[in-house]
Amino acid sequence: MAKTNPLEFFQQVRSETSKVTWPTRRETAITTVMVFVMVTFATVFFFLADMVLSYGVTLVLGIGS
């Protein structure tokens, strides 16, 4: 493998970076909102699953008041 000097390396990096399709501001905003929505759904789901499992374990073990 041939060695590349630092200047040539940075030129190659710049060339490759220009080939990247960068998201628009709108795409970034929509994706961010989607992530927050999915995190909210996951939080609610796991909270409810934890409550159901906790209730089930309490019934099976006979713990509680």
DSSP state string for 18-37: HTS-PPPHHHHHHHHHHHHH
Rounded percentage of the chain residues whose pLDDT exceeds 70:
95
CA distance 30 to 8: 37
Q: What is the mean pLDDT of the chain?
A: 92
Given a contact cutoff of 8 angstroms between Cβ atoms, the answer to whether 38 and 44 are in contact is no
pTM above 0.75? no
pLDDT of residue 65: 54
Only one residue has tokens 């309490």, namely: 58
**pLDDT above 70 (res 6):** yes
Rounded percentage of the chain residues whose pLDDT exceeds 90:
80
CA distance 50 to 56: 10
